[in-house]
Copies of this chain bind each other. A is one copy, B any other.
């Protein structure tokens, strides 16, 4: 519920004020790869985020219009998290992070395969993935 205070008028700074930490973009990543996730799904990710940190980040990402909550079709106990348009618009940025990391780190096979596809036609990949992610968004 806390307000995000802008440190300056710079767009880079404004952006970092929202998702400039070690966890927020990992949540976005999970939503981009899995399309939608429950609270428990996020906890299962390799980086092992703490439950309180996850809760605070989900709250802040929702407050900032990057994600939304939806009812889970299977159960009232579950909550589905999805990217909003604003969240999906982070896709080009996420791709560039992947491309940079591809040059300076060792990627797992699986991600490397997706990146090959991206390198062939970046625009096309973004266009199709965006449509896919926005399906059933209210």
Contact = CB atoms under 8 A, between A and B. Distances in A.
Interface centre among A10, A25, A45 (most CB of B within 10 A): A10
A17 B11 contact: no
A interface secondary structure, majority: helix
A117 interface: no
A100 B16 CA distance: 12
16 contacts: A9-B107, A11-B98, A11-B101, A11-B105, A12-B26, A12-B29, A12-B94, A13-B47, A14-B105, A15-B97, A16-B25, A21-B21, A86-B103, A89-B104, A90-B100, A92-B99
A102 interface: yes
Interface in A83-115: 86, 89-90, 92-108, 111
A8 interface: yes
Nearest to A22: B20
Q: How large is the interface on A (under 10, 10 to 19, 20 to 34, 35 or more residues)?
A: 35 or more
A92 B86 contact: no
A96 B93 contact: yes
B10 A47 contact: yes
